[in-house]
Structure 1
Amino acid sequence: MTDLSVHHVGVTVADLDRAVQFYDETLGLSVLDRFSVSGENFATAVGVAGATGRFAHLDGGDVRVELVEYDPEGEAVGDLMVDRPGATHLGLTVEDVDAFYEGLPSEVETLSEPQTTESGSRILFVRDPEGNLVELLEATS
């Protein structure tokens, strides 16, 4: 078996430009690359007839964050909450969750104010413009 390592974490969005603006300006993840992919092999690989994708790769440190906008666009998933089987979220570390929270633009939706968990981690969940969950984490280790 070959050795595996994480290359990227993907987030599907309806409006790539709006998502890139949020992840860059609000979360500070700089754009590494933008590109489009289409063709029969791509459509077959993603299992969507006639699919094309517009992509942005963002600098997430050791792992890229991949934002992708598909055409044709599929049906949006329901209310995104962390307790639903199959739910996903992106976890990003920050030095000071409280300072990050205080600096958020007023239009950014949060699930609560920063909280300290039983493990000692300080966390904050926000929603990107698409409603996807992003956890900001001040880890204890």
Structure 2
Amino acid sequence: MTELSAHHVGVTVADLEQTVKFYRDTLGFPVESEFSVSGEAFATAVDVESATGRFAHLDAGGVRVELVEYEPEGERERESSVNQPGAKHLGFSVDDIDSLYESLDGQVETLSEPRTTDTGSRILFLRDPEGNLVELLETS
């Protein structure tokens, strides 16, 4: 059997530049690469007629976050809450969640202030500019 290993976590976005700016400037993830993919093989693989994808890969400390903007753009999913079946979120460790929370731009939507769970972990959920859920986690 062929061994599998993680390559990236992908998120489809409507505005690549705005979303890259959030992950780069707000969360501090360096941009590894930016590129476009098109052609019949790509369109067939993603099952979107005449698809073109603009990609950005960011380094989230050992996890590659892939942001992709497609043309043509599909219908936007409605914002989800964490308890909806099929809901997704990106989770990132942080050393000092309170300091990060205090440094957030007032435009960043958070679900609450940082909270300590019964396991002792501190968590904070926020939304990126596209409405995707992002969990920040400080473990003890």
Q: Identify the TM-score tier after normalising by the shorter chain.
A: over 0.9
Instruction: For 1:113-128, list aligned pairs within 5 A.
Output: 113-128=113-128
Runs of at least 5 residues in structure 2 that lack an aligned partner in the other structure: none
**Is structure 2 residue 32 aligned with structure 1 residue 41?**
no
Partners of 1:133 and 1:104 lie apart in 2 by: 15
Deviation string, structure 1 residues 47-95 (Cα, Å, up to 9, x no partner): 1111100000000122200000000000000122111111110001100
Spell out, residue by residue over 1:88-133, the C-alpha distance to the aligned partner (whole angstroms, 9 max, x if none): 1000110011111011011000000001111111000010000001
Paired residues, number? 140
TM-score, length-normalised on structure 2? 0.97
In 2, Cα distance between the equivalents of 1:58 and 1:86? 24
Question: Counterparts in 2 of 1:37-116, with a 5 A limit?
Answer: 37-116=37-116
What letter matches 1:24 in structure 2?
A: R
| C-alpha distance in structure 1 between counterparts of 2:80 and 2:70, whole Å | 19
Hey, what does 1:14 align to over in structure 2? 14
d(CA) in 2 for partners of 1:84 and 1:46? Answer: 25
Scaled by the length of structure 1, what TM-score is found?
Answer: 0.97
2:109 is paired with a residue whose SS is: coil
What amino acid does structure 2 have at the position aligned with 1:108? V
Segments ≥4 residues shifted beyond 3 Å: none
Note the aligned Cα RMSD (angstroms): 0.8
Structure 2 CA distance, aligned partners of 1:19 and 1:64? 15
